[in-house]
Amino acid sequence: MRPGQARRIPQEVYVPPEPPPRAADRLNDDDYPAYTMGRAAEMIGATPSFLRAIGEARLITPLRSEGGHRRYSRYQLRIAARARELVDSGTPIEAACRIVILEDQLEEARRLNEEMRGRQPAGERRPDSGA
């Protein structure tokens, strides 16, 4: 190879790197931590201290940026907004966090129940009790 000449990599060996995820794909992801604390608080009509409090109560755990700043996802903001509704109606913050956790667990259990019912053959399904 002569000086200044670029080295050729055989085509069959070279594997181009995967392109980074498109911004639009990340923004459609409910779990992508797109929002700063200030923006998240503004979106749900709360204060940054409210977000810190529900974080301390372990209702949500924001991801941290490389600089250590909290980042929130849309899913976390929906959870935080529900907690804020309960607190605004007079529920203590710890109780509000517990209620939201239980509501989320109940929703997941119902989803799994429906999924399991869909897998059973028609002859093996038990009739609903009506409850």
- At 86-130, the pLDDT tens digits run 999 999 999 999 999 999 999 999 999 999 998 877 666 566 655
Q: How far apart are the C-alpha atoms of 78 and 103, rounded to whole Å?
A: 13
Q: How far apart are the C-alpha atoms of 96 and 10, rounded to whole Å?
A: 61
The answer to whether residues 58 and 97 touch, using CB atoms and an 8 Å cutoff, is yes
pLDDT at 69 over 70: yes
What's the whole-number mean pLDDT along residues 14-38? 74
The single-letter DSSP state of residue 124 is G
The answer to whether residues 82 and 104 touch, using CB atoms and an 8 Å cutoff, is no
- All domains in the chain, ordered by first residue: 30-118 (1.10.1660.10)
The 3-state DSSP class for residue 22 equals coil
Q: How far apart are the C-alpha atoms of 26 and 8, rounded to whole Å?
A: 35
Whole-number pLDDT of residue 4? 54
Whole-number pLDDT of residue 73? 94
- The reported pTM is 0.68
For 43, phi then psi, to 5°, come to -65, -35
